[in-house]
A = this chain, B = another copy of it.
Amino acid sequence: MQPFSNSLFADAEASYDEADYVIFGVPYDGTTSFKAGTRAAPNAIRAISYNFEPYMPMYDLELTDIPFIDLGDLYPDCDPEEVTGQVEETVSMILGDGKCPVMLGGEHSITIGAVRAAKPGWYVVCDAHLDFQDEYRGSRYNHDCVTARVEEMGLQGIIIIGGRSGSREEFQRARSHHLFTADQVHEEGIASIITRIKALIGEESLYLSIDADAIDSCLTPGLGTPDPFGMTPRDVRTVIRALAPQAVGFDYVEVLPDDQGQTAAVAAHMIREFIGCRAQSRGM
C-alpha cells in the first residue's frame, strides 16, 4: 500500500505518550490591532516545515530521532480571556505529562495562558513591542497587554529583547525589568547581550516567547504589526540556542503569512532549533 502524508509539522511522528515535545497551534487573532490574519500562521509554518531536511547539522541530530508530536490546532473561542483559559488548560496537561509545550500562534495574547500554566522562574520574550498596556481596545487580554499580564504573575524576572515600540509609560515599565532594545542588539551584538542575560538568569527555569515581529520587517515582512529596525533571524536564533536548554515552554507567535513564506520559514527553523538544541542539551 502507498504511504500517505498529513499536514502536521514535518517529522512529528511520535505518539502523545512517546513525545518529549508537544506542538500545537492556536489560530486566534481576535484582538489584533493592525493587519488581520495571524490565525493562518500555524498551518503556514507546518507547510514550510516540509521544505527542510530532518537532519540538523548544528546538532548532528535527525529530527526524527527526537520524539515529538503535533496535536493540530485548538478551536479558539472569540473572547481572548477564554482563549487564554483554553491554552492554560492545554499547557498544564502537557507539562503535567512531563512534556515540553511548543505553541504556534496566532496572536501573542495566547502566551498569557501558557506562562500561567508553566510558572517559570523567568519570562524571556523577543518582541518589537513592550506589550505593557494594562488594557487595550476594551480588553485586558489584548495582544498589547501580554507582558503586563505576565508581570502580575510575580515571576522572578522579565527580560525583553528587541523592544522598540511602546508608549512612554511602557518604556518606563519595561526598563524597571530588563529591556534590551533592537538598536542595542545591533550595536552591542547579541553575543554580549546573551552574556548579560545568562548572568541574570543563572540556572533558573524560563519560558521563552518569540513574537515574530522582534525580527526586522524588511527581513520577515509576514507580520501583523510589522516594524523595521529590528533584530536579525540570526540574533533570535542565538537567543534560542542560549536559552532553550533551560526553557520549560516555548512559543512562536504573530506570524501573518501574507508574504512569500519567508517569515513562516524562519518560524519553522526556529521551532526546529528549539527542539533540537534542547534535546541535545538533555543528551539525545
Q: For the complex formed, measure the closest distance between the CB of A170 and the CB atoms of chain B, giving whole angstroms.
A: 8
Residues in B with CB closer than 8 Å to A5 are 72-75
Q: For the complex formed, measure the closest distance between the CB of A111 and the CB atoms of chain B, giving whole angstroms.
A: 17
Give A50-90 as 1s and 0s: 1 = Cβ < 8 Å from B's Cβ atoms: 11111101001010000000011111111110100010011
Residues in B with CB closer than 8 Å to A266 are 218, 228
Residues in B with CB closer than 8 Å to A4 are 24, 71-75
Q: Once bound together, how far apart are the Cα atoms of A137 and B83, in whole Å?
A: 10
Partner of A234, one of B40, B167, B229: B229
**Chain A at the B interface: mostly helix, strand, loop or mixed?**
loop
Given that A5-B72, A29-B36, A57-B164 are known contacts, is A228 also in contact with B77, CB under 8 Å in the complex? no
Q: Once bound together, how far apart are the Cα atoms of A86 and B136, in whole Å?
A: 16
Interface residue A162 (Cβ < 8 Å from any Cβ of B): no
Give A31-53 as 1s and 0s: 1 = Cβ < 8 Å from B's Cβ atoms: 10011111110010011101111
Given that A166-B55, A168-B60 are known contacts, is A259 also in contact with B221, CB under 8 Å in the complex? yes
Residues in B with CB closer than 8 Å to A192 are none
Interface residue A147 (Cβ < 8 Å from any Cβ of B): no
Residues in B with CB closer than 8 Å to A258 are 260
The answer to whether B269 and A228 touch across the interface, beta carbons within 8 angstroms, is yes
Q: For the complex formed, measure the closest distance between the CB of A61 and the CB atoms of chain B, giving whole angstroms.
A: 9
Residues in B with CB closer than 8 Å to A171 are 55, 57
Residues in B with CB closer than 8 Å to A51 are 34, 225-227
Interface residue A265 (Cβ < 8 Å from any Cβ of B): yes
Partner of A78, one of B30, B50, B259, B269: B30
Q: Once bound together, how far apart are the Cα atoms of A258 and B242, in whole Å?
A: 35
Residues in B with CB closer than 8 Å to A259 are 221, 260
Interface residue A209 (Cβ < 8 Å from any Cβ of B): no
Partner of A139, one of B72, B78, B269: B78
Within 8 A of B (CB), among A189-231: 217-222, 225-229
The answer to whether B139 and A89 touch across the interface, beta carbons within 8 angstroms, is no
Given that A73-B5, A168-B62, A265-B228 are known contacts, is A36 also in contact with B31, CB under 8 Å in the complex? no
Given that A50-B34, A75-B5, A77-B138 are known contacts, is A269 also in contact with B229, CB under 8 Å in the complex? yes
Q: Once bound together, how far apart are the Cα atoms of A29 and B82, in whole Å?
A: 18
Interface residue A186 (Cβ < 8 Å from any Cβ of B): yes
Residues in B with CB closer than 8 Å to A78 are 30-31, 80, 136-139, 142
Q: What are 9 contact pairs spanning A and B, CB under 8 A?
A: A4-B75, A5-B74, A6-B7, A7-B7, A7-B8, A36-B37, A48-B226, A55-B166, A228-B269
Q: Top 10 A-B pairs ranked by shortest CB distance?
A: A77-B138, A36-B36, A221-B260, A4-B72, A7-B7, A36-B37, A218-B219, A78-B139, A221-B262, A4-B71
